[in-house]
Structure 1
Amino acid sequence: MMLIRFWISLIAAVMLLSASDDNSTASSFSVEKQTPIPVEQNLSIPNADNNQTKGMIGKNEKLDDVTPEDIAKERKLQEKVETEKIMKEVQERLDAGKTPLPEIKKVKIDTITVKGAVLQGQVVELNSEYLKFSLIYGSGSIRIDYTDIEQLMTEHEYHIFYKGKETTGKIVGIKDHAWLIIKHGNVEELIKIEYIDRFLLSVNEKDTLNNRLHNLFPYTKGNVDIGMEYESGSNIKRKLSFAAHVVHKVTKHRTVFDISYAYEETDTVNTTKTLNKDEWVIFAEHDYYYNKNNFFFAQLGYDYDRPRGVKGRIYPAAGGGHRFEKSRDVWLQLKLGASNVTEKFFPYDVNGTMVENGSNSYIAAYLGADARYIMKSIWLLRELRFSGQLFYMPGFENPKKDWLFRAKGNIALPIGESLALRFVVNYVNDDNPTPAIGNNKLTMNLYLSILF
C-alpha cells in the first residue's frame, strides 16, 4: 500500500503540473521550459558594497543602449572593489606580523546585459531554452530567456558539446539571440544555441574529480548505491546490498542501465545457517524519440532470486510510449507494448522430497510507466528527488496464471555535489509456483549514494 500511495501521489503531482501549462511538453532531450527573468517587472541590481538597490528599471523604462565601454567600466569598478578588499587583507596580515602574504588571485567575472541592465557573476547553466546566471552579489541564480539577452561575455572558460562535436573557450558575444560566439586562442567560432547538448565549466577552471568526470563523460549521469549491515550476538547477521543506475542521453537517444545485488545470511546458535537473500536484478532500456513527446522503446530484464526459488527469469519487451513533460525535473512517461517471459525455478522441498518446478514461458502484453519529480528549496533542504518505475506483463493466454509485476520508488536527498542519501522501495509480484514462498515481496533499503 505504501508503494501504491507513493506512485499515485507522484503521478498526480506530475499530471497536475503538466496540465497547468499548455506549452509545457518537450522532448526527453530538450531542457525544461522555465519562466524567463521577469524583465517586465522591476529589476533591482544590488550594490557590491552594501547589498542595497543600486538601480531600478521600471516596466515602462529602458536604459540607454549599453556599449562595450559600459561593460568595461563595470568590470574596472568590480576589479577596484576586489583590489581594495585584497589590499585591506594584506595590510591586516602585515599589521599582525603574519607572513607569507596570501596568494592573490584575480576574480573571474562573466557579464550579461539584460534589457539594458548589466549583471555580473557566472553562467552556471546554458541550454536550448534558457541561460542560468549566478550573481556575484548574493546567493542563488536566475533564469534568463535568450530573447532578453543583449550582450554576453565570459571570463570563465567553458566546455561545450553540440551535434556530436565539442569546443572549449570563452563566450565573447551573442548574435541574434540564437548564436554564441566562442573564442579559443585567436579563433572565433559561431555555435547555434539550439544545437548545444551539454555546457560545462572547463577543467581548467574547476579541477575536481566530479567536474573531470562530467567533462570526460558529458552525456552520462548516474549513481552507485551501497548498503551494509553486520550484527553479532545470539544471531550473526551479514547483509550487503549494491545498486547502480546509469543514464546516457544523446540527441534523440536515451539508454538506461540498472543493476542491483543483495545478500543476507543469518547464523543462530545451535541452528543451521539461513540464507535470507541472494538475488540479482539486471535491467537495460533504450528509447528513441522520433518527435518531441513520442518514442519507441526496447528493454531487457533479468532476475535471479535463490530464496524465492527463481533460477533465472528473462523478460524482453518492446513498444511505444508518450512523455508528459513539465520540465527536465518533472515528467511522466507511459509505455505500451508486447513482451515475452521465460523463467526457470529451483526445486523445492516438501516433507523431505524435492519437487521440480521446471520452467515456464509465455507471451504477454506490456504496460509501463516512469516518472520523476524534483522539489527544490523545501524547508531546510536544497532539494528532494522523487522517481519511480513500474510495469505489468499479463500473459495473453492466461493472465491469472502467468503475470509479472514490478514497482520501484526512491527518494534521494543530495548531500553536497557527489553524495546523497537514498531510500528505495521495491515491490515484486509474480507467478511463483512454490507454495511456501508466495507471489509477493516488499523490500525497503537505505543507501549511501555516490553521484556522477
Structure 2
Amino acid sequence: MKKMVYASLLFIFFSTLFSLADTTVLKPSKEEEIRDTIVVHGMVLHGRVTGIGPQRLSFKLRYSDGTNRIAYKDIDSIYTKYNYRISFKRMDIEGRIVGIEENKQYLKILEGNHERTVKIADIDNFIMAVSEDDSFENVVRNKFPYTKGSIHAGLEVENGINRKNTADVRLNLKRKVAEHETRFFLNYNFETTQTADEPKVQNKDELIAAATYKNYFENEQFFFASLAAEYDRPRQIQQRWLPSVGYGYKFTFDKAFWLEPAVGLAYATTQYTDIQYQDDQFTAAALRLSGEYLMDDVIYINTLIIDGNIMYYPSLTAAEEDWIMRSNLGFSIPLFDFLSVKFIIDYTNDSNPDPEVGNNKTTSSLLFGFDF
C-alpha cells in the first residue's frame, strides 16, 4: 500500500513539474507580445510593418524571413503596437498606426494621446522609432530620415591564359523633404584584359556623376537644376562638365507608374585626352525623360521594378555636329528588405571626334546591391 502511495506522489510531483515547464516554454516573451496586426480580406496577420509605399504596404510576418507587399485596397484594418517615425509635409511625428480610412488613402496615426489623419501619398519617410529599435542601422536611418539610396556592384576576375578584371559600381542617393528633392548618381566602370601574346589593354575607365535638385512648386510641376560631370579615358574624354536648368512635369498613372518629361537649357564643355582634338563647348537644349513602373505579384519573383532615363543635349546652333546623349533602362528584383539584383542596359551617344572610338556604345550589366 505504501508503495502505491509513494508512486502516486511521485507521479503527481513529476506531472506538476512538467506542467510548469510546459507553461514556461509556451509563455511568449515580451518582444513576441509586441507585434503589429493587419486584417486582409478577413485574415488576421501578425508581424511588423517595414515600409509604406505609394500603392502597397510592406509587412514582415511573424516567424518569417520574407516580406509581403499588401495593397491598401485589400486591408480591412491595421493596428501597430510598435512606434514609428513618420515624416510628411515638413513634419516629423512618432506614433502608432491605428486605422486606415477614406477610400484607403489615409492612415490614422496615434501620436501620444492625439490622433491625426495622414495622407499616404504625402509620407516621405517611414521607419521604426529608436525607442523600439536601437540598432546601429536604425539609429543611422533616424539620423538621416529623408535620405534613401542604393549601391550596386558587379565584379569579374579571370585568371589563366587570358586575364580580365572588371568592376561596375553604381550609387544612387535621394533626399526628399516636402517639395524639395535632391538626387545624386555615380557610376564607375573599369576593365582591363591581357593575353599571353598581348600586353594589358584598358577597355574601360569611365566615371559619370550627376547632382540634380528639383522643386515641386505646384502640384506635379517642378523646376530643376543639374550638374553632370564625367570622364572616359578609352573614349578620349579627359573631362566633361554639363550644367543645366529647366522645367518639368510629373505624370502619375495608378500610383505604380510615373513619367517625368523636362525641358531646359544646358552648356557643355569637353576636354579631350588627345591634343589633336580641340576642346569643345556649346550651348544646348536639355531634353530629359525619366520614369518608373512597379509591377507586383509577378510570377516567381513577386516584384519587378522597371526604371529608365533619357538625357539628350543637342547644340542650339549645330545639332548635327555637337550633341550628347545618355540613356539607361533598368530591371530590379528586390530579394529581401535591403538586397536586390539589377539588370541595366546603358546607351551612350555623343559627337566624339575620334573615328576609332565612334559615336555610340551599348553596355549591359548584371549587378547585386543594397537598398537603404
TM-score, normalising length: structure 2: 0.80
Q: 1:53-452 residue pairs with structure 2 within 5 A?
A: 94=18, 101=25, 104-105=28-29, 106-108=32-34, 110=36, 121=46, 124=49, 132=57, 141-144=70-73, 154-170=80-96, 180=108, 182-184=110-112, 188-194=113-119, 196-206=123-133, 211-347=138-274, 356-452=276-372
Contact map agreement 1:171 1:180 (CA 8 A) in 2: yes
Cα deviation for residue 322 of structure 1 reads 1.3
Root mean square deviation of aligned Cα? 3.7
The one-letter amino acid paired with 1:283 is: A
Change (3 A) 1:447 1:158: same
Structure richer in strand, relative to its length:
2
Change (3 A) 1:424 1:200: same
Q: Distance in 2 between matches of 1:167 and 1:217?
A: 15
Cα deviation for residue 102 of structure 1 reads 6.6
Q: Distance in 2 between matches of 1:107 and 1:233?
A: 57
Cα deviation for residue 236 of structure 1 reads 1.4
Q: Hey, what does 1:352 align to over in structure 2?
A: none
Change (3 A) 1:312 1:183: closer
CA deviation vs aligned residue, 1:217-248 (integer Å, no higher than 9, x gap) = 22222110111111112221111221101111
The number of aligned residues is: 345
Cα deviation for residue 200 of structure 1 reads 2.8
Cα deviation for residue 251 of structure 1 reads 0.7
Cα deviation for residue 430 of structure 1 reads 0.4
Aligned-pair identity (%): 29
Contact map agreement 1:237 1:265 (CA 8 A) in 2: yes
Cα deviation for residue 271 of structure 1 reads 2.7
Cα deviation for residue 393 of structure 1 reads 0.8
Cα deviation for residue 371 of structure 1 reads 0.7
Contact map agreement 1:235 1:267 (CA 8 A) in 2: yes
Change (3 A) 1:157 1:403: same
CA deviation vs aligned residue, 1:107-152 (integer Å, no higher than 9, x gap) = 33556899xx997756838979889596989976351599x98xx7
Contact map agreement 1:246 1:256 (CA 8 A) in 2: yes
Contact map agreement 1:175 1:181 (CA 8 A) in 2: no
Change (3 A) 1:345 1:247: same
Contact map agreement 1:174 1:181 (CA 8 A) in 2: no
Q: Distance in 2 between matches of 1:320 and 1:198?
A: 26
The one-letter amino acid paired with 2:118 is: I
Q: Distance in 2 between matches of 1:286 and 1:395?
A: 23
**Structure 2: runs of 5+ lacking an equivalent:** 1-14
Cα deviation for residue 249 of structure 1 reads 1.1
SS in 1 for 2:340: strand
TM-score, normalising length: structure 1: 0.66
Contact map agreement 1:263 1:276 (CA 8 A) in 2: yes
**Structure 1: runs of 5+ lacking an equivalent:** 1-90, 348-354
Q: Distance in 2 between matches of 1:238 and 1:111?
A: 50
Q: Distance in 2 between matches of 1:394 and 1:197?
A: 35
Change (3 A) 1:174 1:410: closer
SS in 2 for 1:155: coil
SS in 2 for 1:215: helix
Q: Hey, what does 1:21 align to over in structure 2?
A: none
Change (3 A) 1:385 1:262: same
SS in 2 for 1:290: strand
Q: Hey, what does 2:12 align to over in structure 1?
A: none
CA deviation vs aligned residue, 1:137-193 (integer Å, no higher than 9, x gap) = 9976351599x98xx754222222244342323356899997846344xxx235452
Contact map agreement 1:234 1:268 (CA 8 A) in 2: yes
The one-letter amino acid paired with 2:129 is: S
Change (3 A) 1:251 1:327: farther
Change (3 A) 1:386 1:144: closer
Q: Distance in 1 between matches of 2:335 and 2:99?
A: 36
Cα deviation for residue 208 of structure 1 reads 5.8
